[in-house]
Amino acid sequence: MPQKYAPLQAPRRLLFGPGPSMVAPRVYQAMSQNVVGHLDPFFFEVADQIRTLLGYAFSTGNSFNIAISGTGSAGMEAAVANFAEPGRKFALLSNGFFGDRIGEMARRQGSTVVRLAKDWGEPFDAQEVREFIHREQPHMVGFVQAETSTGMFNQARPICEAAHQAGALTIADCVTSLGGMPVLVDENGIDIAYSCTQKGLGCPPGLAPITLGPRALERLKARTVPVQSWYLDLQLLDTFYSGHKYHHTASATLFYALREGLAIVAEEGLESRWERHRRNHLAFVAGIEAMGLSMHVEDPANRLWTLNTPRIPAGVDDTRLRQYLLSEHGMEIAGGFGPLAGKVFRIGTMGYGSTRENILMLLEALEAALKQQGYRSAGNPRAAAEKSLAE
């Protein structure tokens, strides 16, 4: 017998985890518009706008800017699958979970992976990077600019300079930096950069922006071994986005969302957007330190403005605290994993959610959640954050 279902009603959440982040109302509105086919002229008009807007967001003059149908991990796999060749050396710089994921993808492509590894959240020394790449003479160099597992911002320029001196191309994971921190593809010399839609760009998950520079395009066109992944073959994808030839059924709705999210970035202006994220991050850290907590990434210059990792104080149960925030405040934050499990919170202040009001609300809720487990703040987190914002 047929059963009647009430219309779906999702709960309202305050998304302060490592992603997805909160979605701008304008993006939701764009997603409610009519769906068109993936070969419709309007779809390609939107895709062309995205190509231009991605160039702005990545700070690049590259002509190859597309959004891959898939999450940020699809962007990672596309970058690796198209450039990590069997038997060639792939140098990996890893100080977190997602760096290791790049290496695993390269290994599955048949590359010989060599690693320069640091503890999770420990920065790379520029001289050490140069010596490593000079010694290994790799075909490719992969690194994570914004490491979501630790809150670490890895400096791209010394890595790219050393790689180019060795004749290697660079792949940069910009999943948690695009739209919230300076990626600076051209200025840093990044050859291949990829990201996602659900973090600094303030859109739902489902697409992976990627950009290729001239060196990368030249290498890709000269490749003699076919790319193992048909779906993520970038040259095939280019025949779809540029040549308007059928490749797969892309989601018009997700493209609407990305176009709108990128338009918001362009209207705000990159420098203003970066400054907003920096200012709100510093206010959050001031509040955290007023509580008596410390940050996992010790040097402020190496911290992400989009993803904060305060250390969990002794005696506080991470899971119980996060459950309290969700049930009492409808607020999501995340815990650490791997070697940081139970040791840090991962708290996102990015995209549409990075506002003065949200920072203060987040600090007050976190203080209440800690108090519920018997932890007392050393000072006044709201006052400390407000002082930071005023300065």
Of 267, 294, 309, which residue constitutes the final position of a domain? 267
| Residues forming beta bridges with residue 79, ordered by sequence position | none
The residue-averaged pLDDT of 109-137 equals 97
Do residues 81 and 232 touch, judged by C-beta distance below 8 A? yes
Q: Enumerate long-range contacts of 161-167, CB under 8 Å, 24 or more apart.
A: 161/130, 161/189, 162/129, 162/130, 162/132, 162/133, 162/134, 163/91, 163/133, 163/138, 164/189, 165/133, 165/134, 166/133, 166/134, 166/136, 166/137, 166/138, 166/141, 167/137
359 and 243, same structural domain? no
258 and 281, same structural domain? no
* CA dihedral over 301, 305, 306, 312, signed as positive or negative: positive
307 and 223, same structural domain? no
80 and 197, same structural domain? yes
High-pLDDT (> 70) share of the chain, %: 100
What are the tens digits of pLDDT across the range 360-381? 999 999 999 999 999 999 999 9
201 and 274, same structural domain? no
- Under the banding of pLDDT at 50, 70 and 90, the label for residue 64 is very high
Mean confidence (pLDDT) of the chain: 97
Closest CA to 346 of 10, 21, 93, 11: 21
Rounded to whole angstroms, the Cα distance separating 132 from 165 reads 12
Closest CA to 29 of 257, 207, 199: 257
- Under the banding of pLDDT at 50, 70 and 90, the label for residue 42 is very high
Question: What CATH number has the domain bearing residue 173?
Answer: 3.40.640.10
Tell me the whole-structure pTM to 2 decimals.
0.97
274 and 199, same structural domain? no
> How high is the pLDDT of residue 388?
98
Residue 6 placed within a domain: no
- Under the banding of pLDDT at 50, 70 and 90, the label for residue 44 is very high
73 and 100, same structural domain? yes
> How high is the pLDDT of residue 225?
87
Residue 13 placed within a domain: no
Residue 343 placed within a domain: yes
Helix axes 214-222, 72-83, angle to 10 degrees: 60
Q: Is 8 a residue whose pLDDT tops 80? A: yes
Rounded to whole angstroms, the Cα distance separating 20 from 148 reads 12
> How high is the pLDDT of residue 68?
98
What are the tens digits of pLDDT across the range 251-288? 999 999 999 999 999 999 999 999 999 999 999 999 99
220 and 80, same structural domain? yes
Q: What are the residues whose beta carbons fall under 8 Å from the beta carbon of 6, sequence distance 6 or more?
A: none
79 and 178, same structural domain? yes
Counted domains in the chain:
2
Q: Is 1 a residue whose pLDDT tops 90? A: no
Rounded to whole angstroms, the Cα distance separating 364 from 381 reads 8
The residue-averaged pLDDT of 199-204 equals 98
What are the tens digits of pLDDT across the range 294-333? 999 999 999 999 999 999 999 999 999 999 999 999 999 9
286 and 226, same structural domain? no
Per-residue tokens: 328: 């009492």
> How high is the pLDDT of residue 256?
98
- Under the banding of pLDDT at 50, 70 and 90, the label for residue 77 is very high
| Residues forming beta bridges with residue 348, ordered by sequence position | 307
Do residues 14 and 329 touch, judged by C-beta distance below 8 A? yes
Element (H, E) at 143: strand 140-144
212 and 314, same structural domain? no
Structural domain span for residue 205: 26-267
Per-residue tokens: 291: 């509580």
- Phi, psi at residue 106, to the nearest 5°? -65, -40
What are the tens digits of pLDDT across the range 137-181? 999 999 999 999 999 999 999 999 999 999 999 999 999 999 999
Residue 21 placed within a domain: no
Question: What CATH number has the domain bearing residue 313?
Answer: 3.90.1150.10
- Under the banding of pLDDT at 50, 70 and 90, the label for residue 2 is confident
SS3 305: coil
244 and 107, same structural domain? yes
Pairing status of strand 307-308 against strand 331-332: unpaired
